[in-house]
Amino acid sequence: MSGYDSYKNPLIERYSSKEMSFIFSAQNKFSTWRKFWVALAKAEKELGLQITDEQIAELESNIENINFDDAKKFEKETRHDVMSHVKAYGLLCPNAKGIIHLGATSAYVGDNTDVVVMKQAIELVMVKFANLMKNLSDFALKYKEMPTLGYTHFQPAQLTTVGKRACLWLQDLIMDFDELEYRLESLKLRGVKGTTGTQASFLSLFEGDHEKVKKLDELVCKNMGIEKKFTITGQTYSRKQDCQVLSTLSSIAQSMHKMTNDLRLLQNLKEVEEPFEKSQIGSSAMAYKRNPMRSERISSLCKYVMSQSLNPALIFSTQWFERTLDDSANRRLSIPESFLAIDAILEIGINVTNGLVVYENMIRKHVNEELPFMATENILMEAVKRGGDRQELHEKIRIYSMEVGERVKNQGLDNNLIDKIIDDTSFKMSKEEILEIIDPKKFTGRAPQQVDQFVEEEIKPILEKHKDELGIDVDLKV
């Protein structure tokens, strides 16, 4: 069979990075299994079991040298993935094969490795996350003072600024980033707990010495770099932990979906556009089209991640007593693919936010179409200060507004409300004075100052913490 004769996972083939793909690779998984077997042997030796330095050295020298063909052959015979790798490891380590997996159950390597792999994946996600936030914060600062039409219900509302709107996206992402950081810090290994979590096998190995069994648990977890562990487990760690992690990934997807939906709307308005390469084709039929395909791809992958968060909830809620095996096949799919998709989402997001195109004249045009209506109250107040009759002037503005509304909506002409007011001497202001009143920057409130404060107080501390990881280059496959 050629490479085109079988299904290829698009998350790996088209979307996610090599780094994230490796984290969920067989090589990383099974070498981590072996690291846990080495950590167990070292801790058992330290606590008095008859294990030699030579046996440990033999195990350590073969951590990365995984004989996949042997393991595959054994699994076909045994129908047991862990025992197949115990046997395969034993072929490479004949002197140590008798102490591999000593006292442990399958979940010792399976569950603990899953946590280590999730930790590695979260750390990579955080790197991508920080780079995305750097791009957005730079964009926000650059355009913090540029007035733009705000929308509520996708109807014209009061003005905001282009930079302030970007901070709305950042605010959501910071909440996700904080949650992700908390999940990273809260990850717990299953530890060394035995078949149903009672540690009975290890208590037997250490002849009833409870302190040594407790110490064994601590030593292994410390050796593997995650000192937090569950005190209580069944045969597996609580699948609630998977729910919490994938729920956080879903939350990131929700925020990215919202942001890219906004970008798609802005591109339709011709105000802000994602990067479009010279040779890029928007449509096979309509040569003029510039589709927001990257934002659309993000939105598409976000939907997938959000839907995947249901899987661990179903798994956790239907586990029986100390464990059932109906979690295994599901977790092999839902956990890796959620991380692969989030990695792709953030990579594409970095690419998009690194090259956003802002069409200032189009933004100004939309502002000018709506601002005259918004500015009438300010004009009215200033005219009254100069001795005008409020009721009379209010009625004039009402009539002019109705005339202009008919002109704009029914005739498709421009908004000439300000011209009508300028030409009406009863307002007692010159053209220059009226134009000064309706300067768009006077209608954006504290938006520029809010951007400065937000970036300084909430974004910069995160970027400073990850300063050595900023500036990654994203090369999209498609």
pLDDT band (50, 70, 90) for residue 428? confident
Asked whether the predicted pLDDT for residue 286 surpasses 80, the reply is no
**Catalytic annotation present for 366:** no
pTM of the model: 0.91
Residues 94-139 pLDDT 10s: 999 999 999 999 999 999 999 999 999 999 999 999 999 999 999 9
The active-site residue out of 61, 186, 204, 283 is 283
Q: Return the pLDDT at 277.
A: 61
Query: Is 391 within 8 Å of 446 (Cβ atoms)?
Result: no
Q: Which domains does the chain have, with CATH numbers?
A: 21-99 (1.10.275.10), 108-146+161-276+288-358 (1.20.200.10), 362-443 (1.10.40.30)
Measured CA to CA, the distance from residue 40 to residue 36 in angstroms comes to 6
Q: Return the pLDDT at 357.
A: 95
Query: Is 470 within 8 Å of 341 (Cβ atoms)?
Result: no
Least reliable range by pLDDT among 9-13, 200-204, 402-406 = 402-406
Q: Return the pLDDT at 376.
A: 82
Q: Return the pLDDT at 34.
A: 98
pLDDT band (50, 70, 90) for residue 413? confident
Measured CA to CA, the distance from residue 272 to residue 84 in angstroms comes to 55
Q: End-to-end CA distance of the chain, in Å?
A: 25
pLDDT band (50, 70, 90) for residue 70? very high
Measured CA to CA, the distance from residue 193 to residue 229 in angstroms comes to 10
Q: Return the pLDDT at 51.
A: 97
Q: Give the mean model confidence (pLDDT) for residues 247-268.
A: 97
The active-site residue out of 2, 153, 279, 284 is 153
Looking up tokens 């950042």 gives 170
Please provide the average confidence, as pLDDT, over all residues in the chain. 93
Task: Kindly give, in sequence order, each residue whose CB lies less than 8 Å from that of residue 94, ignoring residues fewer than 6 positions away.
Answer: none
**Catalytic annotation present for 283:** yes
